[in-house]
Structure 1
Amino acid sequence: MDYTFAGPKAWEKITATTKKSGPRKAAVAFLGREAPSLMPLTENDVLVCNASDSALRSHSTSPDAISDYLSRGVEVWSSAALHAKVIATSKWAIVGSANASRHSARRTNEAAIITDDSEIVSEVKNFVDCEIAALDATEQITVEDLPRLRAVWNEGLNADPRFGVPGVNKSVDELISNPDAYFYICKDDTVDVDAATSSQARKAIRRGHATAEFAIGVVAIEADQPPLDIGDLLFWWDQEGIDVPAVVIDIPRPALDGSDGRTYQAYRYRKDLHWLTWDHLRAELPAALWTLLDHDEPHIEGTLADTTPRGAFTKQARLARALLQLWGLAIPDPI
């Protein structure tokens, strides 16, 4: 028997193993648009995912990915309760943490065990079969369902992403909704957004985002820059210090003036917080963390959950967490 560990960037090994002999059975909760290339299932394979309305509205599961799988002859089912990430081929089993998405492949640190232990392979297949057996026949997704799935997905273009996938730890009362949030500590060189575009952005976001406690802003994304993900955490700095943290709350949208492919994204921040001066940061941060900022043009990014091989938080993650603590902002507990 062979056992292999894949991580923290696990998808290269997962994809290579999934390509091996079928038929395959998979239960992977959430599917990004890139799922069919990351998890290359084909005819006679079976897939259970979470294609509930909330998963579609929050853009956690892509109807385009489901459409691709159906066109390849994959049998697709939806379970709103699914949170597992397991795959079985004729010989191999994969048990891990990774959803089939670009975010999982590029942003987050995942882990998986890959084994040819026949008992584990059988158990994974049985798990998938039991998931399907517990579903109603209407939970099998067919081509006829795709227009409805896309309509629900499109509803999410204006949906409040704080109300999303069951099982995801989100609070409408806190700025940070994701304990694994990706963060950027970067220079405030954002492009000014014209008033008309800013107004349109605010109208596209549900009123629940702009409250007595939270305000909404808009950041311009140049054509050569990748878009931000909903939930990304932004710390902008300038010569005076670091501005209050902001969290992205919307997908990219085109600028009204069509300025060379530029898009814009909305974010929210706490109205009662104020930017922190460099002198204040130097005095309050531990020396080891201050050194990350104490040089020209610091640019730091990562996730709040980044850890070292021994399980301790990395310096970058510790810095982001320390900044949030200086503002008295809470990080939700892991799921």
Structure 2
Amino acid sequence: MEYKFVGPKAWRAITKAIQTAGPRYAAVAFLGSDAPKLMPLTLGDVLVTNASDSAVRSHSTSPQAIETYLAAGVEVWSSGALHAKVIATAERAVIGSANASARSSRRTNEASVISGTDAMIAWTRAFVIAEKSESEQVTAQDLPRLNALWADGADQDNDRFGVPGINTSADELVTTSDARFFVCNYGEVDVDEVASKEMNRIVRRAHRSTNFGTDWLVLEDGDEFRIDDVLFLWDDDGLEAPVVFIDIPRDQADGSRYQAYRYRTDLDWKSWDELEEALDSSNYQRLLPDDLYIEGDLSYWNADLARALLDVWDLTAPLPTPRIVYDPELVPAGPASRSDAIPHRAPRFRKIARLAPESHL
């Protein structure tokens, strides 16, 4: 293998490409909390990232990801000037645009070249080593300070610390065709007052937006939604306007797990009569079971229903983008399979917790 080009959803190919013998050398500017899953580095590997105060405070680089890497024995270094995204293993070099984050994995279109040539591997490794020599090492002793910076960012207007293209809000409610969707019913449960206030603080401050309102819900044990998942909630009266998840689940003092979402403040729920009028007969019939529960994604599985429901509120989703892969051994060509796109155990939830109208952002 000399080189392969992958995109616009490149991380699946990157993750597979770097699962080779170490040591591995990575210089990736920004890390989301799920970076260790996308880029599973281990003992003896070297990672240079941008863990500067501004990057952490703006929630562009996650202290949680750094802590996971350190616990795994990864050597972590920080350079505030770093903007590269390259990885070198003993067998491959990866050079591209993708940060190690859910945004780069699911929301933005990225491109990478994966090379197996000795020269490219050597050059990439040399680049990381050179960046390391100009960087500061990050150790476990730095984690309290980094976590404090992260918390400080949550207490401020995110626009103040925003990094364009990394953590700034999108203008559209639904921003990716790779998102999953769910049509579910919900019930009410009691919520701990202290935990409720803490989640309100996090949601209002860390996800402040002039374009959207933000709320949160309580998850069942072991369940979670992905960032960008779309949720339609129904009750006896009709269907709520869609909401989109914007954050990872948060553990609270009462033992519950909460997850934040955003929604368009100018959209209202639709009655069943309005839905019957707006949808074609086949799609409306799919919403009639008493135990209605539907899941799918916006590209393949039940995508026709998802897009029809979005259209009820004059919303759109990006069209599916083909995965460009020139290495059939590295990543199978074609769309993701159903089992890859949707887990067998779908998320469940118990309570939608809506903020008072005056607190909508």
Q: Give the count of matched residue pairs.
A: 313
- Which structure is richer in relative contact order (CA contacts within 8 A, separation 6 or more)? 2
Aligned partner of 1:297: which letter? L
Q: Measure, in 1, the Cα distance between the counterparts of 2:43 and 2:177.
A: 32
Q: Measure, in 2, the Cα distance between the counterparts of 1:56 and 1:249.
A: 18
Contact 1:98 1:111 in 2 (8 A): yes
**Structure 2: 5+ residue stretches without partners:** 321-361
Q: Measure, in 1, the Cα distance between the counterparts of 2:65 and 2:167.
A: 25
Q: Measure, in 1, the Cα distance between the counterparts of 2:37 and 2:267.
A: 43
Shift of 1:184: 2.9
Mapped pair 1:324 → 2:318: no
Shift of 1:265: 3.4
Q: Measure, in 2, the Cα distance between the counterparts of 1:110 and 1:77.
A: 23
Mapped pair 1:141 → 2:137: yes
Contact 1:50 1:79 in 2 (8 A): yes
The aligned counterpart of 1:271 is 265
SS in structure 2 opposite 1:247? strand
Aligned partner of 2:199: which letter? A
Identity %: 38
Q: Say which of 284, 291, 297 aligns to 2:292.
A: 297
Contact 1:70 1:76 in 2 (8 A): no
Equivalent positions of 1:72-83 (< 5 A) are 72=73, 74-79=75-80, 82=83
Shift of 1:165: 4.0
Aligned partner of 1:35: which letter? P
Q: Measure, in 2, the Cα distance between the counterparts of 1:292 and 1:123.
A: 56
The CA RMSD over aligned residues, in Å, is: 4.7
- When the two structures are superposed, what TM-score results if normalisation uses the length of structure 1? 0.67
Shift of 1:49: 2.3
Q: Measure, in 2, the Cα distance between the counterparts of 1:115 and 1:210.
A: 41
Shift of 1:300: 1.6
The aligned counterpart of 2:256 is 262
- When the two structures are superposed, what TM-score results if normalisation uses the length of structure 2? 0.63
Cα 1:75/1:226, change in 2 over 3 Å: same
Q: Measure, in 2, the Cα distance between the counterparts of 1:263 and 1:186.
A: 21
Contact 2:60 2:166 in 1 (8 A): no
Range with greater deviation from structure 2 (207-216 or 58-67) = 207-216
The aligned counterpart of 1:167 is 165
Contact 1:51 1:61 in 2 (8 A): yes
The aligned counterpart of 2:56 is 56
Could you give the per-residue CA deviations for residues 142-190 of structure 1, whole angstroms, max 9, x where no partner exists? 3254332121123345556676443237447x46274467343221224
Could you give the per-residue CA deviations for residues 229-264 of structure 1, whole angstroms, max 9, x where no partner exists? 5554322123443201223455545567x3xx3333
Q: Measure, in 2, the Cα distance between the counterparts of 1:183 and 1:58.
A: 27
Q: Measure, in 2, the Cα distance between the counterparts of 1:277 and 1:77.
A: 53
Contact 1:185 1:237 in 2 (8 A): no
Contact 1:248 1:266 in 2 (8 A): yes
SS in structure 2 opposite 1:94? strand
Shift of 1:50: 3.4
